[in-house]
Amino acid sequence: MTHEIGLQIRGGTKVYPGTRALKGVDFDLRMGAVNVLVGENGAGKSTMMKVIAGVEQLTEGQILMDGQPVHLGGTDDARRHGIGIVFQELNMFPNMTVAENIFINREITRGRIDIDTAAQREATRGLMRRLEHDIDPDTLVGDLRVGQQQIIEIAKSLAQDARILILDEPTSALSAAEVEILFRVIADLKKQGVGIVYISHRLEELIRIGDYITVLRDGAITGARSMEGVDVGWIVRAMIGEASKDFAKEIDHPYGAEVFHAEDVTLPRPGGGMAVDHVSMSLRAGEILGVLWLDGRRSQRVPGMRDRPPSPCGRAHVCGW
Protein backbone atom coordinates (compact mmCIF):
# COMPACT_ATOMS: atom_id res chain seq x y z
CA MET A 1 0.00 0.00 0.00
CA THR A 2 1.30 3.46 -0.90
CA HIS A 3 0.79 6.43 1.39
CA GLU A 4 0.71 10.01 0.18
CA ILE A 5 3.33 12.42 1.50
CA GLY A 6 1.77 15.00 3.82
CA LEU A 7 4.87 16.88 4.97
CA GLN A 8 8.37 17.28 3.59
CA ILE A 9 11.62 18.85 4.74
CA ARG A 10 13.97 19.80 1.93
CA GLY A 11 17.57 20.80 2.59
CA GLY A 12 16.82 21.18 6.28
CA THR A 13 19.75 22.64 8.20
CA LYS A 14 19.73 23.72 11.83
CA VAL A 15 22.75 25.50 13.27
CA TYR A 16 23.29 26.19 16.96
CA PRO A 17 26.36 28.05 18.25
CA GLY A 18 29.25 25.67 17.72
CA THR A 19 27.27 22.80 16.15
CA ARG A 20 25.18 21.80 13.13
CA ALA A 21 22.35 19.70 14.51
CA LEU A 22 20.84 19.06 11.06
CA LYS A 23 22.87 18.91 7.86
CA GLY A 24 20.74 19.39 4.76
CA VAL A 25 18.20 16.67 5.54
CA ASP A 26 15.43 15.61 3.14
CA PHE A 27 12.55 13.98 5.01
CA ASP A 28 9.16 12.68 3.84
CA LEU A 29 6.31 12.12 6.31
CA ARG A 30 3.66 9.78 4.91
CA MET A 31 0.02 9.96 5.94
CA GLY A 32 -1.92 7.02 7.34
CA ALA A 33 1.36 5.39 8.31
CA VAL A 34 3.90 5.16 11.12
CA ASN A 35 7.09 6.96 10.11
CA VAL A 36 9.82 5.60 12.37
CA LEU A 37 12.73 7.93 13.19
CA VAL A 38 15.80 6.39 14.79
CA GLY A 39 19.37 7.36 15.64
CA GLU A 40 21.84 7.48 18.50
CA ASN A 41 21.65 10.19 21.15
CA GLY A 42 22.66 13.49 19.56
CA ALA A 43 21.87 12.31 16.03
CA GLY A 44 19.35 15.13 15.49
CA LYS A 45 16.01 13.33 15.98
CA SER A 46 14.58 15.69 18.59
CA THR A 47 15.81 18.75 16.70
CA MET A 48 14.05 17.64 13.52
CA MET A 49 10.82 16.94 15.41
CA LYS A 50 10.99 20.33 17.16
CA VAL A 51 11.31 21.95 13.74
CA ILE A 52 8.16 20.16 12.53
CA ALA A 53 6.31 21.06 15.75
CA GLY A 54 7.24 24.75 15.43
CA VAL A 55 9.39 24.78 18.56
CA GLU A 56 12.51 25.50 16.48
CA GLN A 57 12.94 27.02 13.03
CA LEU A 58 15.30 25.88 10.28
CA THR A 59 18.45 27.89 9.65
CA GLU A 60 18.30 26.84 5.99
CA GLY A 61 15.86 24.79 3.90
CA GLN A 62 12.09 24.65 3.84
CA ILE A 63 9.06 22.73 5.04
CA LEU A 64 6.25 21.78 2.66
CA MET A 65 2.77 20.51 3.50
CA ASP A 66 0.74 18.95 0.72
CA GLY A 67 3.41 20.24 -1.65
CA GLN A 68 3.12 23.89 -0.55
CA PRO A 69 5.81 25.76 1.44
CA VAL A 70 4.78 26.64 4.99
CA HIS A 71 6.42 28.63 7.78
CA LEU A 72 5.99 27.15 11.24
CA GLY A 73 7.00 30.11 13.36
CA GLY A 74 5.80 28.58 16.62
CA THR A 75 3.72 25.84 18.19
CA ASP A 76 0.50 27.76 17.47
CA ASP A 77 1.38 27.76 13.75
CA ALA A 78 2.02 24.01 13.91
CA ARG A 79 -1.31 23.38 15.67
CA ARG A 80 -3.16 25.40 13.04
CA HIS A 81 -1.62 23.11 10.43
CA GLY A 82 -2.80 20.05 12.39
CA ILE A 83 0.56 19.06 13.92
CA GLY A 84 0.69 17.68 17.46
CA ILE A 85 3.62 16.38 19.48
CA VAL A 86 4.02 14.28 22.61
CA PHE A 87 7.40 15.21 24.08
CA GLN A 88 9.49 12.70 25.98
CA GLU A 89 9.80 15.29 28.75
CA LEU A 90 6.43 15.61 30.45
CA ASN A 91 4.97 19.11 30.05
CA MET A 92 2.09 19.42 32.50
CA PHE A 93 0.92 21.33 35.56
CA PRO A 94 0.97 18.96 38.56
CA ASN A 95 -1.33 21.18 40.65
CA MET A 96 -4.08 21.14 37.99
CA THR A 97 -6.55 18.37 37.17
CA VAL A 98 -6.30 15.90 34.31
CA ALA A 99 -9.09 17.69 32.39
CA GLU A 100 -7.52 21.12 32.93
CA ASN A 101 -4.15 19.86 31.64
CA ILE A 102 -5.65 18.28 28.54
CA PHE A 103 -7.48 21.48 27.55
CA ILE A 104 -4.99 24.07 28.80
CA ASN A 105 -4.92 27.02 26.37
CA ARG A 106 -7.68 25.30 24.34
CA GLU A 107 -10.48 25.44 26.89
CA ILE A 108 -14.04 24.56 25.94
CA THR A 109 -16.13 27.65 26.66
CA ARG A 110 -19.77 28.65 26.83
CA GLY A 111 -20.28 31.58 24.48
CA ARG A 112 -16.57 32.47 24.82
CA ILE A 113 -17.39 33.78 28.28
CA ASP A 114 -16.59 31.06 30.82
CA ILE A 115 -15.01 27.60 30.79
CA ASP A 116 -17.42 24.68 30.35
CA THR A 117 -15.88 22.38 32.95
CA ALA A 118 -18.61 19.76 32.54
CA ALA A 119 -17.90 19.49 28.80
CA GLN A 120 -14.17 19.23 29.46
CA ARG A 121 -14.74 16.44 31.99
CA GLU A 122 -16.95 14.52 29.56
CA ALA A 123 -14.45 14.92 26.71
CA THR A 124 -11.68 13.73 29.04
CA ARG A 125 -13.69 10.66 30.00
CA GLY A 126 -14.07 9.87 26.29
CA LEU A 127 -10.33 10.18 25.76
CA MET A 128 -9.64 7.94 28.76
CA ARG A 129 -12.02 5.31 27.38
CA ARG A 130 -10.24 5.50 24.05
CA LEU A 131 -6.90 5.00 25.83
CA GLU A 132 -8.42 2.26 28.01
CA HIS A 133 -7.55 3.99 31.27
CA ASP A 134 -9.90 4.64 34.16
CA ILE A 135 -8.50 8.00 35.27
CA ASP A 136 -10.85 10.50 36.90
CA PRO A 137 -10.84 13.86 35.03
CA ASP A 138 -10.73 15.67 38.40
CA THR A 139 -7.57 13.90 39.60
CA LEU A 140 -4.57 16.17 40.12
CA VAL A 141 -1.84 15.25 37.63
CA GLY A 142 0.76 15.43 40.42
CA ASP A 143 -0.97 12.47 42.11
CA LEU A 144 -0.55 10.23 39.04
CA ARG A 145 2.39 7.93 38.47
CA VAL A 146 4.72 8.72 35.56
CA GLY A 147 3.20 6.16 33.19
CA GLN A 148 -0.26 7.62 33.73
CA GLN A 149 1.08 11.14 33.17
CA GLN A 150 2.47 9.99 29.83
CA ILE A 151 -0.98 8.70 28.90
CA ILE A 152 -2.36 12.17 29.70
CA GLU A 153 0.25 13.72 27.39
CA ILE A 154 -0.96 11.43 24.60
CA ALA A 155 -4.57 12.36 25.38
CA LYS A 156 -3.67 16.07 25.03
CA SER A 157 -2.57 15.48 21.43
CA LEU A 158 -5.57 13.27 20.63
CA ALA A 159 -7.84 16.08 21.87
CA GLN A 160 -6.41 18.35 19.15
CA ASP A 161 -7.53 16.00 16.33
CA ALA A 162 -4.04 16.36 14.84
CA ARG A 163 -3.52 15.11 11.28
CA ILE A 164 0.20 14.72 12.02
CA LEU A 165 1.21 13.33 15.42
CA ILE A 166 4.80 13.11 16.69
CA LEU A 167 5.47 10.59 19.46
CA ASP A 168 8.89 11.06 21.07
CA GLU A 169 9.77 7.96 23.15
CA PRO A 170 6.09 7.44 24.05
CA THR A 171 6.62 4.04 25.71
CA SER A 172 9.57 5.00 27.92
CA ALA A 173 7.45 5.01 31.10
CA LEU A 174 4.64 2.66 30.04
CA SER A 175 4.02 -0.87 31.23
CA ALA A 176 3.74 -3.71 28.70
CA ALA A 177 -0.08 -3.57 28.91
CA GLU A 178 -0.07 0.21 28.35
CA VAL A 179 2.22 -0.22 25.32
CA GLU A 180 -0.30 -2.59 23.75
CA ILE A 181 -3.06 -0.03 24.33
CA LEU A 182 -0.96 2.68 22.68
CA PHE A 183 -0.32 0.45 19.67
CA ARG A 184 -4.07 -0.13 19.28
CA VAL A 185 -4.64 3.64 19.39
CA ILE A 186 -1.93 4.14 16.76
CA ALA A 187 -3.56 1.53 14.50
CA ASP A 188 -6.87 3.41 14.84
CA LEU A 189 -5.20 6.73 14.00
CA LYS A 190 -3.63 5.20 10.88
CA LYS A 191 -7.07 4.13 9.68
CA GLN A 192 -8.18 7.74 10.07
CA GLY A 193 -5.31 8.86 7.80
CA VAL A 194 -3.17 10.42 10.54
CA GLY A 195 0.55 10.56 9.77
CA ILE A 196 2.57 9.46 12.80
CA VAL A 197 6.24 10.04 13.53
CA TYR A 198 7.46 7.51 16.07
CA ILE A 199 10.79 7.89 17.88
CA SER A 200 12.19 5.14 20.10
CA HIS A 201 15.44 3.43 21.03
CA ARG A 202 13.64 0.06 21.25
CA LEU A 203 14.56 -1.38 17.85
CA GLU A 204 12.30 -4.44 17.98
CA GLU A 205 9.40 -2.11 18.83
CA LEU A 206 10.17 0.02 15.77
CA ILE A 207 10.21 -3.00 13.47
CA ARG A 208 6.88 -4.15 14.85
CA ILE A 209 5.00 -0.88 14.49
CA GLY A 210 6.75 1.02 11.69
CA ASP A 211 5.68 1.37 8.04
CA TYR A 212 8.61 3.58 6.97
CA ILE A 213 11.97 4.23 8.59
CA THR A 214 14.39 7.15 8.53
CA VAL A 215 17.79 6.88 10.21
CA LEU A 216 19.81 9.88 11.38
CA ARG A 217 23.53 9.93 12.19
CA ASP A 218 25.38 13.10 13.21
CA GLY A 219 22.61 15.31 11.79
CA ALA A 220 22.46 13.59 8.40
CA ILE A 221 20.07 10.97 7.04
CA THR A 222 21.87 7.67 6.41
CA GLY A 223 18.87 5.55 5.45
CA ALA A 224 15.23 6.06 4.45
CA ARG A 225 12.97 3.31 3.11
CA SER A 226 9.89 1.20 3.62
CA MET A 227 10.08 -0.97 6.74
CA GLU A 228 9.55 -4.09 4.63
CA GLY A 229 12.64 -6.29 4.93
CA VAL A 230 14.27 -4.13 7.61
CA ASP A 231 15.85 -5.96 10.53
CA VAL A 232 17.81 -4.89 13.61
CA GLY A 233 21.13 -5.40 11.79
CA TRP A 234 20.14 -2.97 9.02
CA ILE A 235 19.10 -0.34 11.56
CA VAL A 236 22.34 -0.70 13.54
CA ARG A 237 24.50 -0.40 10.42
CA ALA A 238 22.63 2.72 9.34
CA MET A 239 22.91 4.21 12.84
CA ILE A 240 26.59 3.61 13.54
CA GLY A 241 28.09 2.66 10.19
CA GLU A 242 28.97 -0.88 11.18
CA ALA A 243 27.28 -3.97 12.55
CA SER A 244 28.85 -3.67 15.99
CA LYS A 245 31.09 -1.53 18.12
CA ASP A 246 34.15 -2.48 20.12
CA PHE A 247 32.63 -2.70 23.56
CA ALA A 248 34.63 -2.91 26.77
CA LYS A 249 36.00 -6.36 27.57
CA GLU A 250 34.73 -8.40 30.45
CA ILE A 251 36.30 -7.38 33.75
CA ASP A 252 36.82 -9.81 36.58
CA HIS A 253 38.36 -8.57 39.80
CA PRO A 254 37.77 -9.00 43.54
CA TYR A 255 35.56 -6.47 45.29
CA GLY A 256 36.72 -4.44 48.25
CA ALA A 257 35.11 -3.62 51.56
CA GLU A 258 31.55 -2.37 51.88
CA VAL A 259 31.36 1.40 51.36
CA PHE A 260 27.60 1.91 51.56
CA HIS A 261 24.78 0.11 53.30
CA ALA A 262 21.04 0.86 53.58
CA GLU A 263 18.64 -1.26 55.60
CA ASP A 264 14.81 -1.28 55.47
CA VAL A 265 14.46 2.13 53.79
CA THR A 266 10.84 3.28 53.54
CA LEU A 267 9.13 6.28 51.97
CA PRO A 268 5.38 6.97 52.30
CA ARG A 269 3.43 7.75 49.13
CA PRO A 270 1.12 10.81 49.09
CA GLY A 271 -2.42 9.55 49.42
CA GLY A 272 -1.46 6.30 51.11
CA GLY A 273 0.79 3.32 50.55
CA MET A 274 4.56 3.18 50.22
CA ALA A 275 6.69 4.52 47.38
CA VAL A 276 9.67 2.62 48.85
CA ASP A 277 8.82 -0.34 51.04
CA HIS A 278 11.65 -1.73 53.26
CA VAL A 279 14.43 -1.74 50.64
CA SER A 280 17.90 -2.90 51.66
CA MET A 281 21.12 -2.70 49.64
CA SER A 282 24.87 -2.54 50.02
CA LEU A 283 27.75 -1.43 47.80
CA ARG A 284 31.36 -2.61 47.83
CA ALA A 285 34.48 -0.88 46.52
CA GLY A 286 35.05 -1.60 42.82
CA GLU A 287 31.43 -2.62 42.27
CA ILE A 288 28.58 -1.21 40.19
CA LEU A 289 25.21 -1.70 41.86
CA GLY A 290 22.28 -1.63 39.47
CA VAL A 291 18.75 -0.82 40.67
CA LEU A 292 15.76 -1.42 38.43
CA TRP A 293 12.01 -1.24 38.88
CA LEU A 294 8.69 -1.16 37.11
CA ASP A 295 7.03 2.26 37.12
CA GLY A 296 4.51 2.51 39.92
CA ARG A 297 5.57 -0.76 41.56
CA ARG A 298 7.22 -0.78 44.95
CA SER A 299 10.89 -1.64 45.19
CA GLN A 300 11.85 -4.74 47.11
CA ARG A 301 14.90 -6.77 47.88
CA VAL A 302 15.47 -9.84 45.74
CA PRO A 303 16.41 -12.68 48.08
CA GLY A 304 19.69 -14.34 47.27
CA MET A 305 20.67 -11.78 44.64
CA ARG A 306 24.12 -11.38 46.20
CA ASP A 307 24.74 -15.08 45.70
CA ARG A 308 24.21 -14.91 41.96
CA PRO A 309 27.19 -14.80 39.58
CA PRO A 310 28.14 -11.42 38.09
CA SER A 311 26.50 -10.20 34.91
CA PRO A 312 28.29 -10.46 31.52
CA CYS A 313 30.01 -7.12 32.12
CA GLY A 314 31.67 -8.70 35.14
CA ARG A 315 30.75 -5.99 37.63
CA ALA A 316 27.06 -5.20 37.72
CA HIS A 317 24.60 -6.70 40.18
CA VAL A 318 20.86 -6.10 40.28
CA CYS A 319 19.51 -5.14 43.65
CA GLY A 320 15.78 -5.30 43.04
CA TRP A 321 12.70 -3.85 41.38
DSSP-assigned states of every residue in 209-227:
H-SEEEEEETTEEEEEEES
Confidence bin at 295 (pLDDT 50/70/90): low
pLDDT at 45: 93
Does 112 have pLDDT greater than 90? no
Confidence bin at 294 (pLDDT 50/70/90): low
Q: How many angstroms separate the CA atoms of 197 and 199, rounded?
A: 7
pLDDT at 305: 41
- 269 and 153, same domain (yes or no): no
| Count of domains forming the chain | 2
pLDDT tens figures, 233-273: 999 999 987 655 555 566 678 889 999 999 999 998 776 77
Q: How many angstroms separate the CA atoms of 196 and 163, rounded?
A: 8
Asked if residue 250 belongs to a domain, the reply is no
Confidence bin at 63 (pLDDT 50/70/90): very high
Q: Which amino acid is at 228?
A: E
Asked if residue 55 belongs to a domain, the reply is yes
Q: How many angstroms separate the CA atoms of 152 and 297, rounded?
A: 19
Asked if residue 24 belongs to a domain, the reply is yes
Average pLDDT, the chain: 85
pLDDT tens figures, 122-174: 999 999 998 889 999 999 999 998 888 888 988 998 898 889 999 988 888 78
Does 28 have pLDDT greater than 60? yes
- Can you give the residue range of the structural domain that contains 264? 258-318
pLDDT tens figures, 79-99: 899 999 888 778 889 999 999
- 234 and 265, same domain (yes or no): no
Asked if residue 43 belongs to a domain, the reply is yes
Of 195, 210, 240, the one marking the end of a domain is: 240
C-beta of residue 79 within 8 angstroms of C-beta of residue 160: yes
